[in-house]
Each structure stands twice: as structure tokens, then as C-alpha cells.
Amino acid sequence: MAGQHRIVAGPQPVVQASHQPLVDLIRDEIDGAPERRITFARFMERALTEPGLGYYSRSDLRPTREGDFLTAPELHPFFGRIIARQLDEMWVRTGRPDRFTVREFGAGRGTLAKTIRAGLEADGSALAGALVHESLDLGTTDPTDPTDPTQGVVGCILANEFVDALPVHRVTIKDGRLLECYVTWWDGRFTDRLAEPSTISLAAQLAEDGVTLAEGQVAEIGLASVAWMTAAAQGLSRGYLLLIDYGHPATELYGSHRAAGTLLGYRGHRVVDDPYGSVGETDLTAHVDLTALDRAARRTGLVACGSVTQAAFVSALGIGEMLQASGADPASEAEAYLLARSAVVRLLDPRHLGAFRVLAWARDAPTDPPLSGFRPGPVPER
């Protein structure tokens, strides 16, 4: 999905759905900033994670994105069981350590952690006795500094639909020059202002990606996601890093067909095009630059060991067989089977969840043959 919010020079209609205390804080920061502006990345950071006020931090909303954006773990326990199967294989490949730590980013209410453990128990995996689950979430920890690198874990770093919610800078090309979209306050609301980039890292990341933006094209650059990958990877002593998100290689992410960028908001399971209309009430997200993440991972010494669609990943790990077994179970009610089938269809749908990317990297752990979730095979008919 491509974002529709265009960078403009003037105000847009005022929307009275924002969380006012948060609006006031951000406005105060803008008023005190040089040139009375802040980067969009800073705006997004505060809108999502400002302590007690941001979307992920407010006790009166939810500490997760589950309220406005349905993630795979909430669809059905099958997804957690799929992840459990991949973790079990990772555990075996790392020599069945007595303590196998899964450090999950974006854990939310812990749905995935619970269904992973239930899946291990359902499959009779001995990993259930060795598993230690660490849960980290937006709004409760600094996502770019997840752990002391000297306190690395043996196990798996897991990030499911987490990186897309990290702050992004917004840029465009005007008269052949790269400009950044800043956030300012004008005529009673937040709006855009174009100016010189806040850091040379923006142009540097595009250059490393081998990307040249077209005149007038709007794009998001995830410096925070690269910082997160670097820190998260350094927290892995031995094992694997597993990432699931909606993203693309840089050449596709910044293609001309995404001239308006990919920034979107979600509120009440509806798409919100204007990121300034309901500040603190909306989940903001942008598609992930997989090229930049892979580059950051490799620079820490990780070795890439798989990249497939989510549909291929869950299929390779047996989601079709799980559904068949559910249907054949005489104790399974028809309604439960239909719910399971609906969830599987959504996970395989190439227009939505099935198109998400699943990537893995390893440190001091076997990569050949490929992990089971990354082995080629047919995706079942939906």
C-alpha cells in the first residue's frame, strides 16, 4: 500500500481527534526548536512512544498495535505454532543449549510468546523446557538500544511487524535537490515544511542503496531501523535473527510506482492518510528498507540465511497440515475450524499478510541446509 499524504507547503483541514496533551508537548518542542521545526522522525517518535501519551505508551489505549492494526499472532494460534517450529529447529542447530533465549521486539500483550509456548507443547518439543522469552516493546524501551551488546544471548532475536513502526525521515526531490520534510505548526495544526536535510546520513543511505529518487517523489528513510538492527544484532552471541515485516529491497521500495511514499496510519482498523490528523490516536507505519537492514546486519558479522514471503514461510512449516488436522479432529467444532481456515487464508493471501517478507540471519550457527521455513516448496491453494 502506498501512502497518500503528500508533502505540501501550507495547512490542511484541522482534525479534532488528536490527544491534546501530546499535541501541546510536540508543539512546545517545535516552538523552541531552531527554525521552529522538527524532523518527521522526531514527530513520529513522540507520537508513538512519548511516555504516558504516545500511541504505544497510553494506558487508556493499548501498549500494542493490536487495537488498530491486526497482526498475524492475533489471527490464530497457528501462527505462534509455526514460529515455534522454526525456533525448535534453531535450538537443535545451536546444539540444544540448556537456555535458549528468544528476545522478542514488539511483543505487545505477549500473544506471540504465549502461542509459541503452546505450540512447542503441542508438538512435544523439548525446547519448551529450555526456552526463555524476553519481551521488549515500543513505548516501554528504547528500540535503538535494546541491550548491552556485551550481554548477548544464545537463541533468537525475533521481530514480528516491529521495524515498520520505528521513526522514519521523509524526503523529496525538488529542482533536483534532496530536501527533508520537517514538521511545523501553522494555522492551528501540524503541517509540512521543506528544507535542507537534517543529516548527511539520509543521502548516504540512499546512495548505499543505489537509489536515485525522481523529481517530486516522496520517500521515507529509516535511520532508526538501521540503528535498531545494529544494536539488536550485537545482542546476539550465537543463534539467529528472525524478522517478519512488510518491506522491500531498496530498488522496489523507492520505485517510481511509490511516488507518494509508503507512510500510512491505522486507526480502528481503518487507513488514515494524514499523519497529523489524530496524533497519539493513530498507529503510524512505513514499509521497511530490507536492503539497508541486511547491510546493517552483515556489518555486525551476521550471515544472511533466508528470505521468503510469509505465505511461503508458513506453508513450508506446515500450516496446511495444521488446518487439515484441525478439520479431521472429531473434537473440533465447525465454527473453530472455519475461524482457523479464515486465518490461514489471510496468512497466505499474496495481496496482504502473505506478501510480508520473512528474513533470517545467523551468527556462529549452521545455515546449510536452509532452515525449514526457507526451503522452496509450493504454497497451498487458498
What tens digit of pLDDT does each residue of 269-312 get?
A: 788 889 998 999 999 999 999 999 999 999 999 999 999 999 99
Predicted confidence (pLDDT) per residue in 14-27, tens digit: 444 678 999 999 99
pLDDT score, position 14: 42
Among residues 259, 74, 226, the alpha carbon closest in space to that of 143 is found at 226
**Rounded CA separation 19/267 (Å):** 13
pLDDT score, position 60: 58
Grade residue 107 by pLDDT with cuts at 50, 70 and 90.
confident
Q: Which domains does the chain have, with CATH numbers?
A: 20-374 (3.40.50.12710)
14-18, 135-139, 171-175, 328-332: least confidently modelled range: 14-18
Grade residue 330 by pLDDT with cuts at 50, 70 and 90.
confident
| pTM reported for the whole predicted model | 0.90
The answer, yes or no, to whether residue 251 has pLDDT greater than 90, is yes
Predicted confidence (pLDDT) per residue in 143-154, tens digit: 455 545 447 999
**Rounded CA separation 309/306 (Å):** 10
Grade residue 379 by pLDDT with cuts at 50, 70 and 90.
low
pLDDT score, position 9: 41
**Rounded CA separation 341/332 (Å):** 13
Average pLDDT, the chain: 89
pLDDT score, position 70: 67
pLDDT score, position 148: 54
**Rounded CA separation 305/321 (Å):** 25
Q: pLDDT: is 344 or 74 the higher one?
A: 344
**215, 173 Cβ separation under 8 angstroms:** yes
